[in-house]
Amino acid sequence: MTDRTTAQQIQALRTWARGYSADRAAVELLITHDEWLNRPDFRDRFVEDIPVDEVHTEPLTVIHWDLVLIAVQNHDLVASSSALAVLRIALSLAVCEPVDLCEALVGLDATNTAAVATAVVTAAQADDRVSVTLVARGLPDWLREEKR
């Protein structure tokens, strides 16, 4: 890895993922989740900064999804169940690795659930940026107690 700042690395990841909505969705999910890309063990093993040269006219940062998949399959990454769920969902988007959404979504907090929902919608739309916000659910009118 090079000595890129976090902001530079995020921009380089976005540049690398540009053009394919599933890659962009997976990358944005990891950026929003804000854990995996901040872990030195993850970055050192799976993230590579590509310097600008004759071939690469913009800085690129790539995630080696194939290596991430092997590590996940081998239970080689220690993390909370929600962090692993987010990573499995990102892998599903990036490399079409099947994920059990029922298992993956149970236990996610509202912030991570919104990030996953945004990623899924982003993957389905090649050029549109979306953002999902979760609001507290209220009871439907027909279930509320009548005030007397």
> How is the chain split into domains, by residue range?
6-143
How many Å is the Cα radius of gyration of the chain?
Answer: 18
34-69 pLDDT tens trace: 999 999 999 999 999 998 877 778 889 999 999 999
Q: How far apart are CA 84 and CA 80, in angstroms?
A: 6
* Per-residue buried b or exposed e for 50-67, using 16+ beta carbons within 10 Å of the residue's own CB: beeeeeeeebbbbbebee
CA-to-CA separations, 129 to 14, 124, 139, in angstroms, rounded: 13, 11, 31
Does position 128 have pLDDT exceeding 50, yes or no?
yes
| pLDDT at 112 exceeding the cut of 80 | yes
Q: Which two tokens stand for residue 97?
A: 């690795």
Indicate whether 30 pLDDT > 60. Answer: yes
Q: CA 99 → CA 10, 33, 45, 116, 131, distances in Å? A: 25, 18, 23, 13, 22
Q: What is the predicted pLDDT for the residue at 57? A: 82
Lookup: tokens for 78: 């220690």
User: Residue 26 and residue 32: Cα distance in Å, rounded?
Assistant: 10
How many CB atoms neighbour CB 124 within 10 A? 12
Q: What is the pLDDT of residue 133?
A: 73
Residue 1's pLDDT is what?
A: 44
Per-residue pLDDT tens digits for 8-27:
899 999 999 988 888 999 99
Concatenating the DSSP letter of every residue in 40-59 gives HHHHHHHEEEEPP-SS-SS-
